[in-house]
Every structure is written in structure tokens, then in C-alpha cells.
């Protein structure tokens, strides 16, 4: 019975050490996230939490890019549409706008929710097992937040890449 307690205690200590190490390695990342979020909070107040932003997702081989244009008014996603640009075609201009349904819009995030993703999910990811990314625009607002597992070969980025943010 004592061996079970010793093993359990050892496992708990190992998990605590691992968590402490993960928090230590992500400390610099979290400073960047919170500095950017502080700038966002100020600009959000000035714009009355109304803005538009564009999320882009490009295929691994660069064959196409999907852009989602999101309009937020007073902290709620109110409009959104999506375009696809196919680079394999001779004319690689963006395709038609596809208006997103209410159900599709509910899946979209506000910038507050994207910052929460950066602060909560990225903080828990191991830098030894994942490529972790947090980038900002020149004005300090979030541009990219996400991670890719190191052992992944194709389209494994989980997160957000923002092309543009326009405050109202």
C-alpha cells in the first residue's frame, strides 16, 4: 500500500514540475499577449467595441487562401462573409463573397475571444512539442495566435491569423 502512495506522490510531483516548467517557458509569451491585450482594451473602448477584421487561412502548399470578413458591433458578431482565392487558376482573383448564415456566424470569434484563446490555450501548450506563434501588427494588436505540433506534416496550425483590423 505504501508503494502506491509513493508512486502517486511521485507522479503528482512530476506533473507539478512539468507544469511549472511550461509556465516558465511561456512567461515571455504571456507578457506579449497581455501587452497586446492592454492596447486592445483601450482601442476597444474608443471604438465602442465595434470593428471589422479579416481572418486568412492559406493551404500548406499555397494553392488557395480563404478569407473570412467579420463585422462586430458592440461586442457581437453581426455580419460575416467568406471569399476563396485559388492560385492554381490563371486568374487568381478572389472568388465571390459567400454570406455566412447565423449558424456559421455563431462559430466566429470576437477579438476578445481570440485574445482569451491566446492567453489560455497557448499558455498550456508545451514549447518542446509545439511551434507556438504570437505576432502583433505595428500598432500592437494581435495578428497571429496559435500553435502547430512539431510532428505534424500538413495543415495542423490551430489558431488565428488576422490580415487586418479596422476599428469603427
Quick: pLDDT tens for 109-160.
Answer: 999 999 999 999 998 999 999 999 999 999 999 999 999 999 987 778 999 9
Per-residue model confidence (pLDDT) at position 159: 96
How many other β-carbons are positioned within 10 Å of the β-carbon of residue 105?
Answer: 18
Q: What is the pTM of this model?
A: 0.79
In whole angstroms, what is the distance from residue 126 CA to residue 18 CA?
Answer: 9
Which candidate, 136, 145, 138, places its Cα nearest to that of 115?
145
Is 147 in contact with 157 (CB distance < 8 Å)?
A: yes
For 39-71, b/e burial (b = at least 16 CB within 10 A) is: bbeebbeeeebebbbebeebeeeeebbbbbbbb
> Is residue 165 over pLDDT 70?
yes
Quick: pLDDT tens for 7-64.
Answer: 655 556 555 444 444 444 577 899 999 999 999 999 999 999 999 999 999 876 767 8
Cell of 50: 465595434
Amino acid at each position: 500500500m505504501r508503494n502506491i502512495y509513493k508512486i502517486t506522490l511521485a507522479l503528482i510531483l512530476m506533473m507539478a514540475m512539468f507544469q511549472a516548467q511550461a509556465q516558465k517557458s511561456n512567461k515571455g509569451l504571456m507578457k506579449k499577449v497581455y501587452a497586446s491585450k492592454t492596447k486592445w482594451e483601450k482601442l476597444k473602448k474608443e471604438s465602442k467595441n465595434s470593428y471589422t477584421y479579416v481572418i486568412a487561412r492559406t493551404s500548406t502548399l499555397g494553392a488557395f487562401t480563404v478569407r473570412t470578413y467579420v463585422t462586430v458591433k458592440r461586442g457581437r458578431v453581426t455580419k460575416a462573409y467568406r471569399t476563396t482565392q485559388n492560385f492554381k487558376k490563371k486568374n487568381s482573383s478572389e472568388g465571390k463573397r459567400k454570406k455566412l448564415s447565423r449558424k456559421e456566424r455563431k462559430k466566429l470569434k470576437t477579438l476578445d475571444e481570440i485574445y482569451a484563446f491566446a492567453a489560455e490555450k497557448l499558455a498550456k501548450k508545451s514549447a518542446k512539442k509545439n511551434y507556438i506563434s504570437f505576432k502583433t501588427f505595428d500598432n500592437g494588436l494581435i495578428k497571429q495566435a496559435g500553435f502547430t505540433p512539431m510532428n505534424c506534416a500538413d495543415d495542423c496550425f490551430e489558431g488565428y491569423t488576422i490580415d487586418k483590423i479596422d476599428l469603427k
